[in-house]
């Protein structure tokens, strides 16, 4: 269903690690560690500023992969892993994009399920990698039927 999209990359999008967004995210996940929200703690840290929680990249815009038309509803978030070269610093601008890494199907109790594996990246202004993440979206039989039409 999506095998022809393997290897396709999205357009690159600039994102800002905005202080208010980091605070709201930390509140939403229930982790109000001072390194995320307290400016004095950030200034006194080895990074000299606040950092974002490790799962914060979930809120970034990763662009659009042409031809990949996934529905807004009905997908299941299978798993996600993050790998960091260094923390995200509050106030910095990063460039994000995604690549379709793999697509495969398995028979489940509710019918055929698709597994779409996306790899996403965040780079600093010099193009140096800050983080990467791998995410698996599960496409259920019901969603597959809608997509196939």
Q: What is the pLDDT of residues 34-55, one digit of tens each?
A: 999 999 999 999 999 999 999 9
Query: Which residue ranges make up each domain of the chain?
Result: 3-17+60-148
Query: How does residue 14 score in pLDDT terms, banded at 50, 70 and 90?
Result: very high
Looking at residue 112, what is its pLDDT? Answer: 85
The pLDDT mean for the chain works out to 93
Domain 3-17+60-148: CATH class, spelled out: alpha beta
Of the candidate ranges 92-96, 130-134, 145-149, the one whose mean pLDDT is the lowest: 145-149
At 50-91, the pLDDT tens digits run 999 999 999 999 999 998 888 777 789 999 999 999 999 999
Instruction: Report the C-alpha gap between 128 and 47 in whole angstroms.
Output: 17
Looking at residue 69, what is its pLDDT? Answer: 83
Query: How does residue 109 score in pLDDT terms, banded at 50, 70 and 90?
Result: confident
| pTM score, whole prediction | 0.90
Q: By three-state DSSP, how is residue 124 classified? A: coil
Looking at residue 128, what is its pLDDT? Answer: 98
Count of beta carbons in the 10 Å neighbourhood of residue 140: 17
Q: Is 146 a residue whose pLDDT tops 80?
A: no
Instruction: Report the C-alpha gap between 81 and 12 in whole angstroms.
Output: 21
Looking at residue 1, what is its pLDDT? Answer: 72
Q: Is 149 a residue whose pLDDT tops 70?
A: no
Instruction: Report the C-alpha gap between 93 and 149 in whole angstroms.
Output: 40
Q: Mean pLDDT over residues 16-33, rounded? A: 97
């Amino acid at each position: 269903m999506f095998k022809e999209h393997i290897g396709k990359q999205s357009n690159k999008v600039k994102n800002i690690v905005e202080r208010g967004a980091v605070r709201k995210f930390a509140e939403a996940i229930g982790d109000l560690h001072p390194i995320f929200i307290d400016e004095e703690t950030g200034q006194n840290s080895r990074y000299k500023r606040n950092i974002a929680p490790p799962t914060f990249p979930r809120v970034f815009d990763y662009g659009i992969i042409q031809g990949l038309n996934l529905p807004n509803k009905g997908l299941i978030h299978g798993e996600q892993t993050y790998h960091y070269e260094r923390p995200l610093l509050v106030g910095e601008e990063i460039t994000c994009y995604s690549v379709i890494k793999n697509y495969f199907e398995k028979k489940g109790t509710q019918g055929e399920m698709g597994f779409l594996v996306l790899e996403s990246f965040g780079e600093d202004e010099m193009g140096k990698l800050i983080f990467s993440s791998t995410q698996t979206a599960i496409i259920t039989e019901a969603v597959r039927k809608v997509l196939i039409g």
